[in-house]
A and B are shown apart, each in its own frame.
Chain A
Amino acid sequence: MSFYDIYNRFKDLDFNSCLKGAADSHEREFFFSLMPIAEDRLEETARKARKITLNNFGRAIQLYTPLYLSNYCENSCIYCGFNKDNETERKKLSLAELEKEAAFIASSGLRHILILTGESRDVSGVSYIKECVRILKKYFSSIAIEIYPLTEDEYRELVKEGVDGLTLYPETYDEEMYKQVHPAGPKTDYRFRMDAPERALKAGMRTVNIGALLGLSDWRKDSFLTGFHAKYLQDKFTDAEISVSIPRVRPHTGNFKPVCKVSDRNIVQIILAMRVFLPRVGITLSTRESSALRENLVSLGVTKMSAGSTTAVGGHTITYNEKKGPVQFEISDERGVDEIKKMLLKRGYQPVLKDWMHV
């Protein structure tokens, strides 16, 4: 069985109607909590979600930052600045440049790093990523990857090398829309991508973070399926740490416009629904969102946040002709690690810079 079987159960669901195919009242409640009518009950749900979060996670918020290794890409994702058809300056970090970037980030105190690449096995293949991990292990106690989907054996190689986390967005669960926004390249393989988190967990990955890119398709449906995907992974891999992200499409090089508006109110509704449905799921909030919104979301169920982010290759230490480098997308919250730590402490939360180590 794969998650695709569950997707097929719900692929025609309609948020203006009732839910067919739900196994129990818990699943029906999740569906209801994402319906338009539930928007009138956000405050009540927020109190419930906050209590559940405090019970399961306390007041700890884990911090991390993304480190882009390469923006070479063979895909044509219409919503992405790294689209191979964009005339973007392409860059791949040398190992020396990577070490400089890693040392800079580590000087902030962060010990959790997320490394990213575009999809190009020729330029940033698994062997290159392994070499990078060997360097990063000197600086970070937890290394997660957000790269193209791999086979189970390839994930096993990276886990053996020291990678313990995977972030991978199915982008949209809507199979038809997925084909439209991914017209060319290896990423056209919808099933291979959807099943990647499960392959990674079978290979021994400790943490997995999934999410739909909100705005590519009906956000209620994508959020519902994200929740079910997370539940499927939690139930099947009970020793793994599963988390979800709720990224919205951001300005990028290209002409793609989101097919639906996803408001701040919608984001709140999704976070609250996820928390009540999955009390132990991590909820990750990136710098795609504004500083004001991120601060307000801290007490609503978020457990991980990025800080000091840049989506340019080597963006922490490399300038491109005295300008910032080409970005995958524009971030909104540009605050550094110290500012985010102060903000969390002011709100009564504990910033956690190191939550894991290999022994």
Chain B
Amino acid sequence: VNTALATAKDPVSMAKAFSQAISAGRLAYISGTAQTSDYANASSPLTGFLRDEEV
């Protein structure tokens, strides 16, 4: 991080960007990430409609 900030044109903004990245990562972790995959998948194009079904 130190080098990334020091070599940025605007180190203060870059530091804020890193700070926000850490907060976003933490929030995503707490929210529960989806299953990982070895390849790219469009998110639920065939069964996505079931998300709207009332339980």
Contact = CB atoms under 8 A, between A and B. Distances in A.
A273 to B, nearest CB: 13
A156 interface: no
A264 B46 contact: no
A299 B53 contact: no
Nearest to B37: A44
Contacts of A299: 46
Nearest to B54: A263
Interface range, B side: under 10
Contacts of B50: 42, 264-265, 268
Q: Is the interface of B mostly helix, strand, loop or mixed?
A: loop
A43 B35 CA distance: 12
B53 A43 contact: no
Nearest to A295: B49
B44 interface: yes
Residue of B44, B46, B49 contacting most chain A CB atoms (<10 Å) = B46
Nearest to A293: B49
Contacts, number: 22
Given A42-B47, A47-B46, A296-B49, 7 more contacts: A42-B50, A46-B46, A50-B46, A264-B50, A265-B53, A268-B50, A299-B46
Contact of B53 (A47, A50, A263): A263
For chain A, what secondary structure do more than half of its interface residues adopt (helix, strand, loop), or is it mixed? helix
Contacts of B49: 292-293, 296
Interface of A: 42-43, 46-47, 50, 263-265, 268, 292-293, 296, 299-300
Contacts of B47: 42-43, 46, 268, 300
22 contacts: A42-B47, A42-B50, A43-B44, A43-B46, A43-B47, A46-B46, A46-B47, A47-B46, A50-B46, A263-B53, A264-B50, A264-B53, A265-B50, A265-B53, A268-B47, A268-B50, A292-B49, A293-B49, A296-B49, A299-B46, A300-B46, A300-B47
A243 to B, nearest CB: 21
A293 B47 CA distance: 11
Contacts of A50: 46
A299 B46 CA distance: 7
Contacts of A300: 46-47
